[in-house]
Structures are given as structure tokens and as C-alpha cells.
Amino acid sequence: MIRILPLPVRSQFLRSLLRVSGLALALCSLLLAPCCSHALENGLARTPPMGWNSWNRFGCKNVNESVVRAAADAMVSSGMKSAGYQYIVIDDCWQIGRDAAGNILADPEKYPHGIKALADYVHSKGLKFGIYTDAGVKTCAGRPGSLGHEYQDAAQYARWGVDFVKEDWCNTVSGQSSEASYTVMRNALAATGRPIVFSICEWGSTKPWLWAGPIGNMWRATGDIQDCWDCKRPWGGNGVLQILDLMDPIYSYSGPGHWNDADMLEVGNGGMTDAEYQAHFSLWALFSAPLMAGNDMAHMTDATREILLNKEVIGVDQDPMGIQGHRVQKDGDLEVWCKQLGDGGRAVVLLNRGDKPATITANWTAIGYPSSLKAKVRDLWLHQDLASRAGSYAAQVPGKAAVMVRITP
């Protein structure tokens, strides 16, 4: 039996309210803004951040300044920069200790030219530079964390030219509050005066979607992604399907400047088929999730490049209205996911979680349209306009794969 799940009405409602009483609403929000803002007002990440992060592919041992430079080079030469990818982020293990004054020190063997030189190199390519820290005493890989050094570290990052900070949640002290800790780092970053995207990473453990809107530009909603379709790890790691189920119920908390983060991409890392990676990328775009490539961009297959560089799918992710899509139909392994777009259209993903090919039908009523409405349908992976239709759109979807279309009335 097909279950039709409710479509978000929040934005439609807000838009009609704006139309009817635009002036009153504007005055109201002006009065309320200083006390009740629900999004971090640093002007950054108005669309989900796009970039690359070293962790998924290079982990702790294999990341160093040559890898990061090569990533910056490849982001430009592969066309990813032109497609919108911007941030080059070094994850864990760049730090080695602190000097007598408590200043954070980079590993001189892995980063012989220092972090400032690396940031300058990334900037010289027209890209932005990001770095990783942790709200506890040590990072997850045991390097120095920022607890008690937040202002000192933020000032150092700003001197180096950092544009993005990811702060993890390992090795915190007993009773440490996530909301209070991330607020300290938000304030420390703001005090530098440099625009720095703030990426909170506490894995969804204290429901950051409930409190992190005014604190971070994005927050991880789930435990670490694994390079697999359907796999739950005992320590909290998740395959793509597990992440979908965790992202679905929190769709209403995401928006411009404050995004639910579904974790860095695994596209191109070898653990899944290209069809699975295509589905993974389609759904991250439907979620308005940050698109942080996690592969070796300097050595990509053509299939990986086609996925990461699909500008039509990226366009769905970067839709300026910034609404997170969610599941609107479920029939066992066969699902329909929908995202409302700024032009009144819908991005729709027909997802087959199971092994066998199947026909999946998206009903107009499930995506918030009257059945009689005639709409254009474009396949975003085939890059083809299909015939206009009313009522529904059906497609054959192979096992463990997705079809993604854009529907425009």
C-alpha cells in the first residue's frame, strides 16, 4: 500500500502571508529580530556550502600539504570550481601541539610550509580554505582540541586566512554542554571580524537542529557516513539509507544560513556502485545539504566526475529558497522524495532501496499539486525533457538506484 506523507506547507503558507500582509510582517520581523532570530546572522552560507574535505578519502595518516594543494588544483582543473565547489577543508590531524603560550601548532612534517602558506595557495586558486578543530580537550584522532583556547585558536585561524571551521565533539569533559560550547566558538569566530563559516559536528547527538540555528551555519545531523548503501555500524556510523531516514524527520529545521548537514560525500571512494553514488548525490541535493566532496579529486573516474559535476542536480541543492526536501510516499523499498523549489517547481527523487528493478510513481497530490495540473518533467541525470503530463510521473528504477526529475507546472 502506498502511504502519502504530508508535504510541508510552511513555506507556501509564509509566502501567501507575505503577499497578503507584507508590510505588517516586515515591521513585525524588524521588531523581533534582535531578540528572536533563529539563524546565525553572519551573512554566510545563504545556499548550502560546497567544497571538499580530506577525511573520507585521506583520513588521518594520508593527509598533508601536497594532498591539499593537489585537491585545490583538481577542484579547478576538473571544473568543480566552475560548478560551484569552493571550500577546501583539512579535517583532523593537521595539529600536533601547542607552544608555551598555548598557540596551536601545525605538524611540521606534514605541513612544512605552515598553514598560512597553504591557505594562501588555496586562495590563489580563487578558492576558500577551511580547517578542523574539536570542542573537547582532544580531537577524535587525539590531537589538541580547542577547549579553553577558543578565542586564541579563532584569532590564529583568522591570521592564517581561514574561511571555514568545522568543530567536532570528541573528548569533551563530563557535563560539557554542546550548545554552550559551540556558542563560545561562534563568539570567538565573530570576534575575529573575518567571515568564517561555522560547521558544527556533534553527530546529531544532542539534536542540534533544535538549538544550533543561531549558532552554526550547518550542523551534522548524523553519525559518520560510511562508504556503503545500507550499513549501520555499532559505534554510530551510517550508510546512505540510514542517513536518509535520519534526515527525513528534521527537514523543517534547515534553511539559508543554517543547514542540516548529512555529512561529506562518499561519491567516488569505491565502496558503492555508480548508481548508488548517483542516488546518494541526488538525495543530498534534495536535502539542500552541504555538498562536500570526500574523494580524491585529482584521480576521478569519468562516472564520478559526471556525478559530482551534474549542474542540474547541483542547481536543486543550491535553490535559493533553501527548503529541505523530504519523503512524501513510501511503499516498502520504493519511495518518492520531494523538494519545493523557488520557481514553484518540485525536485522529485524516485528511490528504489531494494535489489529488484521496479516502477515507481510520483503522484501530483503527494508533491502538493492538484491532479489536473499539467507539468513539464525533466530527467536531471539523462538531461532530457520528457513529455508534459498531469496527475503523476512514473519511471522504471533499477535496484539500489534513483531517478531524479524536475517538475515545473
Site size for ligand GLA, by CB under 6 A? Answer: 10
Contact window for ligand GLA (CB under 6 A) among 23-31, 136-144, 182-190, 238-246: 136-144
Q: What is the CA radius of gyration of the chain?
A: 21
**10 CA to centre of own chain:** 22
In the list 47, 63, 91, 119, the residue contacting ligand GLA (rule: CB under 6 A) is: 91
Contact window for ligand GLA (CB under 6 A) among 2-10, 135-143, 389-397, 400-408: 135-143
Contact window for ligand GLA (CB under 6 A) among 25-33, 98-106, 133-141, 354-362: 133-141
**For residues 224 and 319, which CB has a smaller minimum distance to ligand GLA in the complex?**
224
140 near ligand GLA, judged by CB under 6 A:
yes
**For residues 89 and 275, which CB has a smaller minimum distance to ligand GLA in the complex?**
89
Output the smallest distance, CB 201 to ligand GLA, in A.
5
Decide if 107 is catalytic.
no
182 near ligand GLA, judged by CB under 6 A:
no
Cross-strand pairs, 348: 338, 405
Candidates 91, 168, 227, 319; catalytic one? 168
**For residues 39 and 265, which CB has a smaller minimum distance to ligand GLA in the complex?**
265
261 near ligand GLA, judged by CB under 6 A:
no
* Residue 260, Cβ density class (10 Å: 0-12 exposed, 13-18 middle, ≥19 buried): buried
**Cell numbers 568543480 correspond to what residue?**
80
**For residues 107 and 120, which CB has a smaller minimum distance to ligand GLA in the complex?**
107
201 near ligand GLA, judged by CB under 6 A:
yes
Output the smallest distance, CB 234 to ligand GLA, in A.
14
141 near ligand GLA, judged by CB under 6 A:
yes
Residues 6+ apart with CB under 8 A from 337: 283, 286, 325, 326, 327, 328, 348, 349, 351
- Nearest-angstrom CA–CA distance, 364 and 283: 19
Candidates 224, 261, 296, 319; catalytic one? 224
Amino acid at position 253, single letter: Y
168 near ligand GLA, judged by CB under 6 A:
yes
Output the smallest distance, CB 237 to ligand GLA, in A.
9
Amino acid at position 55, single letter: W
- Nearest-angstrom CA–CA distance, 186 and 250: 23
In the list 224, 227, 276, 335, the residue contacting ligand GLA (rule: CB under 6 A) is: 224
Q: What angle do CA 339, 343, 345 make, to 5 degrees?
A: 45
Decide if 224 is catalytic.
yes
- Nearest-angstrom CA–CA distance, 203 and 373: 41
Answer yes or no: are the C-beta atoms of 303 and 272 closer than 8 Å. no
Strand order in the sheet with 128-134: 259-261, 218-220, 197-200, 164-168, 128-134, 87-89, 50-53, 291-293
The contact pattern for ligand GLA, residues 43-82, with x = CB under 6 A and - = no contact, is: ------------x---------------------------
Contact window for ligand GLA (CB under 6 A) among 40-48, 139-147, 289-297, 306-314: 139-147
Output the smallest distance, CB 140 to ligand GLA, in A.
3
Q: Which of positions 345-364 make contact with ligand GLA (CB under 6 A)? A: none
Residues 6+ apart with CB under 8 A from 242: 222, 230, 231, 232
C-beta atoms surrounding 360 within 10 Å: 23
Q: Tally the C-alpha atoms within 13 A of residue 158's C-alpha that lie toward its C-beta.
A: 17
Strand ranges inside 214-325, DSSP E: 218-220, 259-261, 291-293
Q: State the residue number with the nearest CB to ligand GLA.
A: 140
Answer yes or no: are the C-beta atoms of 86 and 58 closer than 8 Å. no
Binding site for ligand GLA (CB under 6 A): 55, 91-92, 139-141, 168, 201, 203, 224
Q: What are the residue numbers of the active site?
A: 168, 224
